[in-house]
Amino acid sequence: MILPLVSRAVQALFAAVVLGLSIVAIRWQVYGKAPAQSGFASFAGAFGCLAAAIGIAGIWITALSTLILAIIDGVAGVCLLIAGITYVVALRGLDCGEAAHILDDKQWKWLPAAINHPLLTGGSGPKSDDGYAMGLSRYGEDKINGVFTDRCHKAKANMVFMFLAFASCVAAAVLIWVHRRRNGGRMSSRV
C-alpha cells in the first residue's frame, strides 16, 4: 500500500512542476498568443495532477476500477509524453550555454537563436529596424541574453519533468494494477 501511495505522490509532484513551469512559460508571452506547446504542456501537467489525485483516492476507494485508473494514467501519460516531444522539437538545436546569446551586442541585431525559438522570446510584434521586435526587447540590451538563458534552462527543465511525469504515470498504473491483482481487487493491506 505504501508503494502505490509513494508513486502517486511522485506523479503529483512531477506533474505539478510541469504545470508550474508551463504557466511561467505562458506568462513570458508579450506579443500574440503563447505558443501551443506551452498551453498543451500546462494542460498535460494539470491532467497529470488530476490523475494523481484520482489515483490516490483509488488506493482507498475500491469502487474505482483498476481499468479506469489505468486508463486515466494512460491518457495522462500520453499527454505528458506528447508535451515533452513538442518541447524537444521546439527547442531542437538549442544549447542554453553556448547558443543562448540571441542579440548581437555590437549591432543590436537578433541572432538566429531568437528567431528560431519563439517559445522563449515572448513572441514577435511589430517590425523594428532590424526586422523583428521580440518580447524580450522590454528587458533592455544589457539583460536580454541573461533572460533568454534563464528561460532556456527553465524550458529544458520543464521538458525533462514532462518525461519524468510520463514515467511516473506508467509506474503508477503498473503498481496499482499489480497491487490490486495481488490483493484480489482490493487496495487494502488487509487480505
For the chain (191 residues), the mean pLDDT of every run of 10, in chain order, is 87 98 92 90 98 90 82 95 95 70 53 66 66 66 77 93 97 82 56 26
Q: Measured on CA atoms in the order 110, 111, 116, 118, is the torsion positive or negative?
A: negative
Structural domain contains residue 90: yes
Let me know if residue 190 belongs to a domain: no
Answer yes or no: is 136 within a domain.
yes
187 is a domain residue:
no
pTM for this predicted structure: 0.82
- 103 part of a folded domain: yes
What is the tally of structural domains in the chain?
A: 1
> What backbone phi and psi angles, to 5 degrees, belong to 33?
-85, 155
In a domain, 16, yes or no: yes
Predicted pLDDT at 105: 52
In a domain, 6, yes or no: yes
- Asked if residue 88 lies in contact with residue 159, where contact means CB atoms within 8 angstroms, the answer is yes
| pLDDT recorded at residue 189 | 38
CA distance 166 to 86: 14
pLDDT at position 127: 62
The predicted pLDDT at position 191 comes to 26
Domain that holds residue 88: 2-182
Hey, what amino acid is at 49? Answer: C
What cell does 150 get?
534563464
pLDDT at 42: 97
